[in-house]
Amino acid sequence: MPRHLAFGLAAFLALTGPAFAANPPPQPKAGMPGGADNPDAEVTKRSVGRASAVTYVFHMANDPPAQGRPVVVFLHGWGAVNPSTYGGWIDHLARRGYLVLFPAFQTIGRTRPPDATNNAAALVKDALAALANDPKAKPDTTKLAYLGHSAGGGIAANLAANPDGAGLPPAKLVFITMVGGIASDEKSRGVQLAELSKIPPSTAIIAMVGDREFQASDRASRRILREATEVPQNKKLFMRAGSDDHGFPALSATLASPGSPMSAYDSGTIKVEPDPPVDKKAPRAPQPKWSADMVLSGEQHVLLAQLQRNPTDSLDHLAFWKTFDMAAESAFNGSGDMAALRNDPAFLDMQRWSDTWPIRRLAAEVPKAIDATATAPVARAAPAATKMPVTRQNKRQRR
């Protein structure tokens, strides 16, 4: 082919490529994990608590089953206090029959990360108490899951680690995605992890990261799995969602991938009880000392904007939503053996592009058990240098 025709064809394909590109698969059908269940059902959207301590509540408007609705506590990322940011996922969970609680544990500009866990625990406890005798909500607290994104992942692990102390029922499942904002030690900023060895053996844990911008999430996820020493190894999974640009639009597994904006779940459309009037004669409660981590950093602002613009795509349907659905089914109604789920071909499958090319599958591994009796190897001092190290420059000089 003449060169000028080749260049012309390449330019044409570059301009029209997306029109001819393969399309991602649609959301699975109703009744399947990640599927579009009860699309015509009405979802109740309301709140409990008051403006400064509110938990948003979502469930189908139909009568609950006799045993009640399983409970999913959705713990948001830092700054993502509006449930509309995760509206698609919340809508999916509500239509599958779950009672979804979205505790707004953070007041931007006033809440420090170390205080977030206690805030979330108090909100969830009060919400469950307020809904205990509600005939429409009817929470089944024997089937409780914590679902956390970013900083909410560390808070989810913390709540599962101290159910008795927080007055909460024990969790059957902790499902965390793109964990971030975890303090590396007691003096560092971020969410301080609790003593995760207190997470009971009956709890299953899945930590999922993406293959883009994953290093910090990778370390934090593995740390949570490692420190949950009482949870059997077969009840833990470390998972990775992969990006795939074979078709259009491309699938990109970033920190913002769990976002699924839906305006129907905007907090501004949900009635919230105002705070009672301030009694000017009453002594003021002590206020926490201001610190820089009360406000969002530049990176956190960027992530929040990405979450609010992230399209709902096959990564949502087949990576996050489907994985949670299958894990919750096992944790609530089965053995809770996450390692067995890994052996189910449907668990890791991401289906195919419209041209039948397979989408990159999910990766899952059972974390290795830590041998508490093993001793650390003795560090040896480096041998004293006896001659100049050999480098490229030295070689040239010797020549």
pLDDT in tens, 303-325: 999 999 999 999 999 999 999 99
Q: What is the mean pLDDT of residues 124-151?
A: 97
363 in Cβ contact with 243 (< 8 Å): no
Residue 19 has pLDDT above 80, yes or no: no
Q: What is the pTM of this model?
A: 0.88
Q: What is the per-residue pLDDT for 230?
A: 97
Q: What is the mean pLDDT of residues 284-301?
A: 83
Q: Where residue 396 falls among pLDDT bands split at 50, 70, 90? A: very low
Q: Where residue 383 falls among pLDDT bands split at 50, 70, 90? A: very low
Residue 9 has pLDDT above 60, yes or no: no
Q: What is the mean pLDDT of residues 39-62?
A: 97
Mean pLDDT of the chain: 89
Q: What is the per-residue pLDDT for 161?
A: 96
Q: Where residue 398 falls among pLDDT bands split at 50, 70, 90? A: very low
Per the listing, tokens 């009482």 go with: 230
Q: What is the per-residue pLDDT for 286?
A: 74
Alpha helices in the chain (DSSP H): 3-20, 87-95, 113-131, 151-161, 163-166, 215-227, 298-309, 314, 322-333, 338-342, 345-348, 392-398
Q: Where residue 210 falls among pLDDT bands split at 50, 70, 90? A: very high
Q: What is the per-residue pLDDT for 5?
A: 52
Instruction: Indicate the domain borders of the chain.
Output: 29-275+288-365
Q: What is the per-residue pLDDT for 3?
A: 58
Query: What's the sign of the alpha-carbon dihedral 151, 153, 156, 160?
Result: negative
Distance CA 54, CA 82 (A): 11
CATH 3.30.43.10 corresponds to the domain 29-275+288-365: no
Amino acid at 190: G
